Amino acid sequence: MKKITLLRISTETYSLRILLRNQLAYMGTRGINVSMASSPDVHVAELEEQQNAKFYPLPLTRELTPFSDLIALYHTIRLIRKIRPEIVHTHSPKAGIVGMLAASICNVPVKVHTVAGLPLMETKGMKRWLLDTVEKVVYRCADWVLPNSNELKNFIVENNLIDDNSKITVIGQGSSNGIDLNYFSTTESIAKEAELVMQTHNISKNDVVLTFVGRLAFYKGINELVAAFEKLQSSHTNLKLLLVGPFEDLNPLEEATLQKITSNPDIISVGHQNDIRKFLAITSIFVFPSYREGFPQSLMQASAMGLPSVATNINGCNEILDDQETGILIEPKNQDAIVEACIQLIENPEKRLQMGEKARKRISESFEQQDLWNNIYDFYRSSL
């Protein structure tokens, strides 16, 4: 069997390290010759070790920078001509437009783009038209478009972003990487690490801990979450809010929210974490009030750890959670909805336990990582 050469391109190493953790290494064990490319950062050595693949730097940015993007296109064309992949697979909007254009120019046999969320969902006017146009170009250049949720697929089709509906498909039940249930579980060592977290941040066993994991960005609903938490504190004294993730520069929080995070001793912001399991292990309720998503990895991880969740009723979230069974779905951009849903779970520990057990079972049945990786491998083979 001929060995496939695969080039995966993302804008940042974050997607390759975190969102696609270990997936490319698995493809290597199945006989695929894998290369990776993105804008370089301090994590490159760690990424190459984790994925057991060669990394190539590209000058990609997340912003709309036409001149810089042309330079990135030139370098991507040079890279493709150097390694001559049979498949180029892009992940993230900027990598999509640059990578798919370059792959088309170079006549790569199979061009694949994964859609893991669309920023255009939250934009209007001229910027929305521009982002729509970029997506249409990406999808036209691609042979296959892989939304990581069925709702996202429906959005793309209903908004006429794709020229040929036959080349859009969702692999498995959705998700870009699935969940390793053995990894996302509370082992003895994780329990000990969790105890240290509680000691460090003055969290008691009687506290109800609300946790968010992800970028601390405006569109993630953090402004509403922080406001809702302070409202909850007026009627519940044993609450903590745990924020796990970096502050977002491109989509920053309101200044008032930043001040509350700094001044409220019961709001604990720990920044980016390579391993979130110890934080999920001390969590009572996972809260994810995002405005838009593809297929949120952190919501699946929380569910795999046996946690009930409060999340917005948007694509991705509503494919992971079953409302009132494994969590509670609420309207986005609604502070009061966060409060009401959290009160249901804060005041009913038994309901939290039952939802958490069902949530882990749901992940096990539909989003097991090894099954998804096998499906992606089969897709690569069949596409050639």
Instruction: Output the furthest CA–CA distance in the chain (Å, rounded).
Output: 65
Q: How many residues does the chain have?
A: 384
- The C-alpha atoms of residue 289 and residue 312 are separated, in whole angstroms, by 5
Give the CA distances from residue 152 to residues 169, 197, 293, 359, in Å, rounded to whole numbers and listed in that order: 10, 36, 9, 22
Instruction: Tell me whether strands 239-244 and 208-213 are parallel, antiparallel or unpaired.
Output: parallel
DSSP 19: I
188-366: same fold as 5-178+369-383? Answer: yes
Check residue 111 and give its pLDDT.
Answer: 98
Q: What is the pLDDT of residue 119?
A: 81
Q: Which helix (H) or strand (E) holds 89?
A: strand 87-91
| Contact assessment for residue 61 and residue 249, using Cβ atoms and an 8 Å cutoff | no
CATH topology of domain 5-178+369-383: Rossmann fold (3.40.50)
Q: What is residue 66's predicted lDDT score, i.e. its pLDDT? A: 86
Q: Assess contact for 30 and 375: CB atoms under 8 A.
A: no
- What does the radius of gyration of the chain's CA atoms come to, in whole angstroms? 21
**232-290 per-position pLDDT tens digit:** 999 999 999 999 999 998 899 999 999 999 999 999 999 999 899 999 999 999 999 99
Residues 342, 287: contact at Cβ < 8 Å?
A: yes
List alpha helices for the chain, DSSP H. Answer: 13-14, 23-29, 44-51, 66-83, 93-105, 125-141, 150-158, 188-200, 222-233, 255-263, 277-280, 297-304, 317-320, 335-346, 349-366, 369-383
- In the 8-state DSSP scheme, what is residue 248? P
SS3 132: helix
Pairing of strands 267-271, 285-288: unpaired
Say how far apart CA 174 and CA 366 lie, in whole Å: 9
Which of 121, 116, 166 shows the shortest CA–CA distance to 143?
Answer: 166
CA pair distance 63, 265, nearest whole angstrom: 35
Burial class, 344, CB count within 10 angstroms (exposed 0-12 / middle 13-18 / buried 19+): middle
Residue 63 is predicted with a pLDDT of 82
Residues 6+ apart with CB under 8 A from 100: 88, 90, 111, 113, 137, 138, 141, 142
What is the pLDDT at residue 362? 96
How much is the pLDDT for 1?
63
Which pair of tokens denotes residue 164?
Answer: 């040929």
For the chain, residues with pLDDT lower than 50 are none
Fold (topology level) of 188-366: Rossmann fold (3.40.50)
Sign of CA dihedral 62, 147, 91, 211: positive
Q: How far apart are CA 215 and CA 246, in angstroms?
A: 5
Domain boundaries, the chain: 5-178+369-383, 188-366
Report how far residue 64's alpha carbon sits from residue 67's, in angstroms, rounded to the nearest whole number. Answer: 9
Q: What is this structure's pTM?
A: 0.84
